[in-house]
Amino acid sequence: MAALQTVQKIGPVLDLFTVSRPEWGASEVAAAIDVPRSSAHALLSSLVETGLLQCRSRGRYRIGWRVVELSQTLKGTVDVRSCATPVLEDLAHKYGETTHLAVMERYRVLYVDKVLGNHVINVAGARVGAHLEPHCSAVGKVLLAQCDPGEIERNITKKPLRRLTPSTITNPAALAQELRSVLRSGCAFDAGEAVPEVHCVAAPVRDDMGLVVAAISMSVPASRFVPAQTEFKNAVIAAGAEISRAIANSADAAIHTHRDDPTFAAAI
């Protein structure tokens, strides 16, 4: 049980290290995650041993180089981002609006790619690497709709849903209804629920097994979005399907490559 509790604290510790605050001390970590300083020091030392953190001078900690290695490993599996980037670029170029690619990480939206639109009045969009609660964004609703209702209750609605704008959905029953609608329609909308006067539409991206692994979206000022909503919706759904096909084709190519490898044949 003690080992499990330690593992459960690793995520909150790593979450502390951000672009705006890349360096932490043991006392600061202890206060941030509400544990004794000795416990925080033990957690930090364990993360240093695994390479996820590095200890700098004066007992200060930063993200370690093992993260880079893990990132390369992730790219070597199913690289959703490389499959999606050309589609994001084409979509942004055609409509002049900002496009995003996002995934779900521990029940939070993680933005992994973005292409800026080219209108004079444009949506800056979320920063790549930024996190956001899933209930207030179109990509979040797409990703959340794939989750089991019990998991949503345990991880999302067991605490109050944060209100970012007057339009944010903060009622769990209303959110559940919205997610059912997302499953039926194959897309999700954000009507100024994360940023006032910014509307979004998002669609799922599936892997070669048909599982939703990401979401693609288009973010548009409300004045342009409302009159062209149907066109934007159809374009984003088609873009999600195009990325899904690219992922499936990439997976098939990888399988054939391995089968043609003599070392693979010898292994089986």
pLDDT of the chain along its 268 residues, tens only? 445 455 677 888 988 998 889 999 999 999 999 999 998 998 998 898 888 898 877 789 998 888 776 766 655 555 789 899 999 999 999 999 999 999 998 889 999 999 999 998 889 989 998 999 999 999 999 999 998 888 898 889 988 999 999 999 999 999 999 999 999 999 999 999 999 999 999 999 998 888 899 999 999 999 999 999 999 999 999 999 999 999 988 866 655 554 455 544 443 3
Are 210 and 251 in a shared domain?
yes
86 & 41 share domain: no
**pLDDT of amino acid 73:** 61
Residue 153 in any domain: the answer is: yes
What pLDDT score was predicted for residue 117?
A: 93
Contact (Cβ atoms closer than 8 angstroms) between residue 174 and residue 167: no
- pLDDT reported for residue 265: 42
**Structural domain of 62:** 2-69
Q: Is the pTM of this model over 0.95?
A: no
Note whether residue 49 is domain-resident: yes
Residue 263 lies in a domain: no
Residue 34 lies in a domain: yes
Distances in Å between the Cα of 117 and the Cα atoms of 108, 178, 261 are 25, 28, 43
Residue 267 lies in a domain: no
130 lies in the same domain as 248: yes
Return phi, psi of residue 56, to 5°. Answer: -90, -170
- CA-nearest of 9, 10, 201, 13 to 98 is 201
Residues 221, 106: one domain? yes
User: Rounded distance, CA 64 to CA 69, Å?
Assistant: 10
Last residue of a domain, one of 52, 69, 86: 69
Which run of H or of E encompasses 185?
helix 172-185
Cα pseudo-dihedral 109, 114, 119, 121, rounded to 10: 40
Same-domain pairing of 65 and 81: no
Residue 120: its pLDDT value, please? 87
Which of residues 25, 51, 69 is at a domain's end? Answer: 69
Backbone angles phi, psi at 70, to 5 degrees: -65, -35
Same domain flag for 47 and 174: no
CATH number at residue 17: 1.10.10.10
User: Is 61 in the same domain as 89?
Assistant: no
How many distinct structural domains can be found in the chain?
A: 2
Same domain, residue pair 61 and 82: no
Six token digits for residue 62: 């930063």
Regarding whether 155 and 109 lie in a shared domain, the answer is yes
Does 152 share its domain with 123? yes
Q: Is 170:160 a contact under the CB 8 Å cutoff? A: yes
- The sign of the torsion formed by the CA atoms of 30, 33, 39, 40 equals negative
Residues 136, 221, single domain; the answer is yes
Output the domain CATH number for residue 100. Answer: 3.30.450.40
Residue 261 lies in a domain: no
pLDDT recorded at residue 264: 40
Indicate whether 107 and 169 sit together in one domain: yes
At which of 49, 69, 89 does a domain end? 69
Task: Quick: pLDDT tens for 203-246.
Answer: 999 988 888 999 999 999 999 999 999 999 999 999 999 999 99
The answer to whether residue 166 sits within a structural domain is yes
